[in-house]
Structure 1
Amino acid sequence: MEWVVGAGLVLAGALAGVAAGLFVVRRRAGAEGRHVIGTEQDGGVLKGLGRKSLDSLRVGVVVLDGSDHPVLVNPAARAMGLLRSGGAPGTIAAHPILRTLAGQVRRTGVRREVELDMPRGRAGAAPAPLGLHLRAVALAAGHVAVEAADVTESHRLARVRRDFVANVSHELKTPIGALQLLSEALLDATELAGDGAAEPNEDLVAARRFAERIHHESHRMGRLVSELLELSRLQGAEPLPTPEPVSLDWVIAEVVDRTRTTASAKNIDVTYEGPKGATVWGTDSQVATAVSNLVENAVAYSPEGTTVRLTVRQADEWVDIDVTDQGIGISPQDLDRIFERFYRADQARSRATGGTGLGLAIVKHIATNHGGRVDVSSVLGGGSTFTLRLPAQPLEAPLPLPPALAPEAAEVPGRNS
């Protein structure tokens, strides 16, 4: 599909010539007043080749004029159902989603992209929705070109993968919980059996050592399952909560409470610097999870007796949350990959810290779902600073639809790492 999308992107950039008159809609003078999409005869061979090239693409292309009337539509766009019947008999109109995107592009002057699932035809006519990647760019004289790529198969595979991970993780929670309880019972039994013994029993010592290992690994597996479920939800298995103002005072207090035990075990101080009363726009539990994961990661890779510093910097539209440590740092070749799922810069050290390899991937998806981002700067051997940037006020919705159209775009798949 990549070459098709690439060809469509190149074509969309050249559609200014289309708006200038290569292809136009002519209104017939008849009583029906139908729009006819075609070519002027004056363009000769060049316009004929352009039309054939456009019609041969599997990428749908629709050009809307300043009044959102379609002035150019190729067969792929028609097949995707991007046209609707107009208000008058015999007329055509662009799909409301396309008109919404076009309006946003005209207002902001910035291209817009969105992925969504649209029903095929009438409700219930097809079991699977049509997955589309829409890209809208501004042309001359108020015209907007909308390119539509069919990503139905990738959406289906992503749903299958998310469902598989969620189902397997959910089923694993029960046996893992049983393992944790049994290992705790075994630890208690070996401790009671060893009380009062004049000399340590080698069998009891070995049994206790194995029980402690089982207990440690079962807790690690339980954390892995929980983070897999969390990542699956963030990637679109569940609808995103409605954004609300989130108090960073509460988030910082929650993060310090969550990480107190781990930090105290290594004699690491978690400090905070920043204004009081700062807020971000999103979901409180997810913001707290993202910051907690960054602090836990800093604690895990910092030596004992150091400091992890939390800093909040507020601008007009964004709030930056910095997590700075005095740890081992990250090598330049690993900086671009640390947010990938299960990626470990240092395999041996990661096993020693008990990490799952999912914490930073979860942070990345939380930031993306909130319309923000996460960055990192690091010096090998000189510590790291992770910056979580979140909106300080409601962002313009990526695709605000009229209420009647909401079910058509209800599922917006999450982005993968």
Structure 2
Amino acid sequence: MPDRPDYPALTRGQIAVLDRVNAGESGLPVLQQLVRLAQDVLGARGAGFAEYTGGHGRIIAATGVCKPAVGRRVERRLEGTGRTQLIPLDSVNDEFARQIEGGDLRHMLGARCEAEDAFAGSLHVYFGADAGEPGAEHHAVLELLAGHIGRLYRLGAGLPVHPAPAPEEAGAQADRDLWVAVTSHELRTPVTVIKGYADTLTNHWDTLGEPGRREAVRVIGNRAGELARLVDRLLSAASDDGVVGSAPAGPFDLVEALREAVGELPADLRRRIELGRMPGDLPKAYGNRDSIATILTELTTNAEKYSEPDTTVELCAGMDDDVLRFRVADRGVGIAPEHVERAFERYWQAEGGDRHHHPGAGLGLYLVRRMVERQHGWVSLRPREGGGTVAEVRLPRA
């Protein structure tokens, strides 16, 4: 970390941001530019912004070492009297903080972002163990950049990414709507697979051969069992104020679960899957193994929907520190940076999208995020270099 902030870079960066705002740009892309500016000007190893609505926050923009955290829920912080706060990472009881602290980082400097006297979120930068404590000038610069972000929220165009929750009096109806959405969507996935394989048996019985028929029957049996488990789980949850239940979590082999899930995809989709790096020596993940098939089906179906039929959908798995991950990457139409978080909202679909060619209720990614977060993981989207979209799921290590 430099002794002083890079003031020439700060000036140039502010001018660039103002030019974009004056040109009518706003929202997440401009916010992301301010996050990058904070890292560069302060000589930090990474930077991130957490937006807060309701009782929790979510990281919606990040650079450097913080990039993998985009989409992650975080605890509410920096609500004291000071505008900025320096926090030693080893004192923070947070899984992500412990993870990056283990990556040779020492301090997190945060600043409150306010809009109309309301707390909109917090801007954070992270410094390595080889850096000294940030000085008064570092605090002042971060506060300045947080003020710019607060102004973006006051402008209101494209922000907040996640609007405030429904009023309290609408909570009961929202719970009922959520239960219906989750119930129908979770049941639809195995039903779709069962119907697909049943149609294949009906239409191609003679050409499949004995091995192909046995494989189709095996998948139908597996998915029927999953369907029965889902029905039991959802019926048990129906009396719990509409909150969808979850099978008990436990250690499981992520790569094995992914390979089995690929094998149970509809044949046309399965043929498009290209397996990348899938290490067999990964440690166990901790979560609900049964959910992997549903999550992968949703992500790969989404990738198939928005890409050309002759392109592949790549799947790979790996590990970062104490977090296991898998990625689904396509070469489709891609996703705009300002939509990478909105895509997880219930019923949301991109403006101008062709609903005839890309049908759907806008529930898939919303429910994927819910399933992943039940397991203390997180999921994110990002544009893929060269075109397309990358969906990444991260789960805790057992």
Range into which the TM-score falls when normalised by the shorter chain: 0.3 to 0.5
TM-score by length of 2: 0.42
Q: Normalising by structure 1, what TM-score?
A: 0.41
